[in-house]
Structure formats: structure tokens, C-alpha cells
Chains A and B, each alone.
Chain A
Amino acid sequence: MITLASYLVISMILFLVGIMVMLSRKNIVAILLGIELILNAAALNFVAYSKFVTNNLDGHIFSLFIIVIAAAEAAVGLAIVIRFFQLKETIHIDEATQLRN
């Protein structure tokens, strides 16, 4: 039987795994992967509540905007990563200590 709780458990696992990826990796691209997992966990929660609790489609709209914002975030974040690699020749997070030069 598929209930709201099953979706919430999956979302919680995704969120925790995303937090662990963000905390445990030192590669900037891997940290962005963790952020994508966290955003997906939130979007899944919105759609699940829209199905099981409310009677409208506002949760779907929220999920669509989350996907849009994730796309914008990934584009800008990866541009920053590539620029950082051109300057420092590495994408280790501990090398990112300056805001300019």
C-alpha cells in the first residue's frame, strides 16, 4: 500500500544522503551533486503532499520552479567551477579561500 509516509521516507533518505555528500566530499562538483539530491528531496515532498493532502496542483507548480532554479544554479555553479579551475588548476574545496584573484 502506497501512502504518504513511504514518499516521506524516500525523501528523508535522499535528503540525508545529499547532506552526507555535501559534507564528505572535497570536490566542488561532488558538492553540487549533493545539492541536486537535496533539491530533489524537497520537490518530491511537494508533489507527495499535493497528491495526498491538498486537492490542488500547487505542489506541482512548486516542484517545477524548484527544477527551474536548480537548472539556473547548476549553470552558474559549474561556470564558477570552471573559472576556478582555470585560476587554481584544481577544484579542491580547501583551495577556495579568496574572493578575488
Chain B
Amino acid sequence: MFLDILFLGSALLTVVSAILVLTTRNIMHSCIFLLGSLIGIAGLYATLGADFVAVTQVMVYVGGIVILMLFAVMLTGGKDFVSKAQSLLGLMPTMGNAWSYGVGGLVAVVFLLTNVQLLSRLGAMAQKKNDGSFESTVNKIGHLLVKDHVLAFELSSVLLLGALVGAAIIARPRKQ
């Protein structure tokens, strides 16, 4: 019962916030709605029993990436702060007209039907039910990270170091 309520609340928060990211014109408001969507996804992780992933999601995304995005928006605000692109049905800023979006929607429907056809047999694999009995995954994830996935773990540390140095070099002030 509690699981159902948590799932419904998180799903609603995720989907509504994601759609608001799409439809709002102010880029700052988009960032704030992305925050709501990411918190909703952390709640969905919690309903799946993925406690470590949920906490990492909140710490890295909500505490790090969205703050970085807000800093970038505020540092580069200026005249692109509010989108002045043409709108589709007055709902959202767009780059095309109704014709191009119609073709895009047709392609999306074909793509979706093909994928449903291809992936429908995967549904038979999902025999397990979410019975609400959870156990902590932190211990197992720690063992997996230093045993089975140690190469990816070390590579990700090198990637983070490279991203850190690269970001500092790219954004450094230059003499004109």
C-alpha cells in the first residue's frame, strides 16, 4: 500500500515535471522542473529497492548537476534567457512548424509500434512480482564494484579526472 502510494507520487512528479521542462519558456524554470523530475526518479529507484542508486541520484544529480546547470544559466543568461522561438499550438517553443512536427510524430508512432512488437516477448520474462520485501544493496554493490566491475570502476575514475582537468582548461580565462 505504501509502495503503491510512493510509486504513484513519484511517477506523477517525474512525468509532470518532465512535461513542464518541455513546455515552459523560461530556461531557469526548466532547470527547476528538471530538479522535480530527478527527485521523482529517485523515488522510483526507492520503489525498486535500489537504495544506493536513489541516494546517489539525489546527491549527484540534485546536489551537483542541476546546481551546475543553474550556474551556467545565470552566467550565460542575457537575451536567451526566455525563448522567443515560434510556438506549436501556443504550448512550447519549437524549431519547426505543424508540418514538420506531424512528420516527426508519424515517425515516432512507427518507431514505437516496431519497438513494442520487438520487445513484447520481453514482458513474458518478467515473472517476478514486486512483493515489497527489500534488503540493503550497499554491501553487494560495494563487493561488485571491486570484484566483477573493477575495470569499469577504475576507468570511470580516470574519466572523471579527465573531465575535471578538461573543464578547467576549457573554461579558463584567456588573454585576448
Binding site for B on A (CB under 8 A): 2-7, 10, 12-14, 16-18, 20-21, 23-27, 29-30, 32-33, 36-37, 40, 43-44, 47-48, 50-53, 57-58, 60-61, 63-65, 67-76, 78-83, 85, 89-92
Cβ 8 A contact of A27, one of B19, B75, B83: B83
Question: Would you give the shortest CB distance from A89 to chain B, in whole angstroms?
Answer: 7
Q: Identify the closest chain B residue to A26 (Cβ).
A: B85
Interface of B is mostly: helix
Whole-angstrom CA separation of A47 from B42 in the bound complex: 11
Question: Would you give the shortest CB distance from A93 to chain B, in whole angstroms?
Answer: 9
Contacts of A14 in B (CB 8 A): 14-15, 18, 37, 41
Whole-angstrom CA separation of A89 from B96 in the bound complex: 25
Question: Would you give the shortest CB distance from B75 to chain A, in whole angstroms?
Answer: 6
Q: Identify the closest chain B residue to A73 (Cβ).
A: B163
Closest 8 CB pairs between A and B?
A72-B163, A79-B167, A79-B171, A4-B126, A85-B76, A79-B170, A78-B72, A17-B18
Whole-angstrom CA separation of A74 from B4 in the bound complex: 33
Interface of A is mostly: helix
Contacts of A27 in B (CB 8 A): 27, 80, 83
**Residues of B within 8 A of A (CB-CB), count:** 77
- Contact at B37–A71, with CB atoms within 8 Å? no
- Contact at A64–B56, with CB atoms within 8 Å? yes
- Contact at A25–B93, with CB atoms within 8 Å? yes
- Residue B159 CB within 8 A of the other chain: yes
Contacts of B56 in A (CB 8 A): 64, 67
Whole-angstrom CA separation of A3 from B53 in the bound complex: 20
Q: Can you report 28 residue pairs joining A to B where beta carbons are below 8 Å apart?
A: A5-B123, A14-B15, A17-B21, A20-B22, A21-B21, A23-B95, A24-B85, A24-B94, A26-B85, A33-B21, A36-B38, A37-B37, A40-B37, A40-B38, A52-B128, A53-B126, A58-B144, A60-B50, A71-B64, A72-B162, A75-B164, A78-B71, A78-B72, A79-B166, A82-B72, A85-B76, A90-B80, A92-B80
